[in-house]
Chains A and B, each alone.
Chain A
Amino acid sequence: MTLRINVPDLAFAAFLVALGAFAFALSAQLSVGNAAAMGPGYVPRGLAILVMIYGLGLGLRALFSGEAAFPTVELRPLLLIMGAVALFALLLPVAGLAITSFAIVVCAGFASYDVRLRENALAALVLAAGAVLLFVTALGLPIPIWPG
């Protein structure tokens, strides 16, 4: 049999093996018990082993199941959208909802290839005001509006 690697399948299989191994390591110190009186580690460890074996099987098959390249990932939207989410987590505790909202809408806006500067800034302003009014004023969420 010749090697005909299906890269997406292989990547998924590698993920399964890694996740299984990680979960196994994390539940290593939990007591297992026995089938009649299971400890907290019984099911997690069993599942972790199952995930690993399953991943190995999928991986082996992926080596011979026909060539397929990993699909292209559009980096700009991916990085900017994820960046906006990270920005929210970093900014909110220090800057409050108003500034955070403005910042992440501007950041996320650039994920689109047809972003327009002034329109984006205006949308961010409107959404920041809207978010504060809706979530804090109307719905009463305990989120600080301003830094402090």
Chain B
Amino acid sequence: MDLFTNLATGFAVALTPANLGFCFLGALIGTLVGVLPGIAPITTIAILLPFTFTLPPASSLIMLAGIFYGAQYGGSTTAILVNVPGESSSIITCLDGHQMAKQGRAGPALAIAAIASFFAGTVATVVIATASAPMAALALKFNAPEYFSLMVLGLTGAVVLAHGAPEKAVAMVLIGLLLGLVGIDVNSGAPRMTMDFAGLGDGIGFVPIAIGMFGIAELAVTLGKPQDRKLLAFDWRELWPSKAELRQCTPAMVRGTALGCLLGVLPGGGAALSSFAAYAVEKKSATDPRRFGKGAIEGVAAPEAANNAGAQASFIPLLTLGIPGNAIMALMVGALMIQGIQPGPQVMTSQPQLFWGVIASMWLGNLMLIVLNLPLIGLWVSLLRVPYRLMFPAIVLFCCIGTYSAGNTVFDIWVMLIFSLLGVFFTKVGAEPAPFILGFVLGPLMEENFRRAMYISRGDPLVFVQRPISAVLLALAAILLVILILPVVRKKRDEVFQE
């Protein structure tokens, strides 16, 4: 019963004209950046972050969340029609989606992608609403040692699930933790590793790091590769999939959604991982796996459902525990912090309007997205005709202005430049930037809880294993690590990422 009262509160917030507008704006921008390859939702959210400062907290989060799941819709359009993933989470959709388009079935592919996303979005909204209360209740039992152990588990998960070499992901987490400590120490007031730069007093800016590593660095790397874009035409009258196709897809959609909800909650999980896993599951469980890669409609439905479910489910740990599971959620922490809200289990009770408003807006946003995407698909497609050589200078400009506006100082631009160069370096040596961002955000929180826990225990590190919840969390982290080291699993993991 409580659930309905809560959802009613949420819809009351989400349905105000202003919030509906922000939800629409988020969904619209999300679709746009989703369709356009070369600009990721994380960059967009980072650029827009400074502008949300003046908005009420609920409106700000509603819009930013809309960008994230909106990009999951938009990404599939590019994947299907151009065979270039609009987003990393739609890479897998290229395989069968583009094959379908080549066979003249682009319409049904696009429609099924949108339908699967909507279905997954609806289910994920309900899952968030039901799973949040018990999660937050559990989290209220947490004290400093438990929080520390939870973050250890989170970072371990991020390492296990990171693409590329896990030993490099560990290093990236460590660097992130270390750089996260730059700035004035809250306990003693001593400036730490600031090199006497006034601009580093509050720590290295989160916005310049995120925009530099994910925006600018990405551009500099992609521009080195040849750009090839061939748009496939599709027939308007053949947008709707046949009844047989719909029936064929339904189980795939359900499986994809379930997998997305599950993997989205995991630390390090989220949209991209969910879509890969869902595709692998479909291929393994199919009666005739050879159809996959040749235009199997399940190969579009499952990953598209999974990436949307995963995107939304990754809000669960953020909203209930205050712990970001992936780099985009780390940005959401930033969005909450500039509003003066400390993310954590108390948000649900102290800010019910914000909490439930954001959840309710997700369903409304999904509804808007299916409208935005299906009938307006022609509009999005025409955007793809804008050549990349005209688009990327605009992205550079927006990245600069976005970073500048976060603190109104060119100091941040220099910080962004340094992290852009670092981002290129990391890409070239095969180290993923996502674990770095997580470490960076969690660094100060982890130190704070570590210090507090050690203070309570009078310097005895055993406190982390003597408290049951903390011990369980650490044990889970240890199990994850052992699994990662086992050679059998490693081989399997490489296979999954190969696909």
Contact = CB atoms under 8 A, between A and B. Distances in A.
A16 B175 contact: yes
Contacts, number: 183
Contacts of B455: 36-38
Contacts of A55: 171
B223 A82 contact: no
**Max chain A Cβ within 10 angstroms of own Cβ: one of B425, B429, B457:** B429
Contact of B400 (A38, A88, A93): A88
Interface stretch (B24-32, B274-282, B362-370, B446-454): B446-454
Interface string B370-393: 000000000000000000111011
Interface in B387-412: 388-390, 392-394, 396-397, 399-401, 404-405, 408, 410
B177 A77 contact: no
B188 interface: yes
A35 B224 contact: no
B-side binding surface: helix, strand, loop or mixed? helix
Contact of A123 (B168, B390, B401): B390
B413 A81 contact: no
Interface in B443-487: 447, 450-451, 454-455, 457-461
Nearest to A128: B397
B167 interface: yes
Chain B contact patch, size range:
35 or more
Contact of A47 (B177, B392, B421): B177
B236 interface: no
B451 A38 contact: yes
Among A71, A81, A101, max chain B CB count under 10 A is at A81
A47 B174 contact: yes
Interface residues of A, number: 70
24 contacts: A11-B429, A12-B431, A26-B192, A27-B192, A27-B193, A30-B190, A36-B459, A38-B454, A40-B192, A43-B450, A47-B181, A48-B178, A51-B175, A58-B168, A70-B429, A81-B216, A82-B420, A85-B420, A89-B413, A92-B410, A104-B396, A109-B389, A109-B393, A141-B405
Interface of B: 51, 167-168, 170-171, 174-175, 177-178, 181, 185, 187-188, 190, 192-193, 195, 216, 219-220, 223-224, 388-390, 392-394, 396-397, 399-401, 404-405, 408, 410, 413-414, 416-417, 420-421, 424-426, 428-431, 447, 450-451, 454-455, 457-461
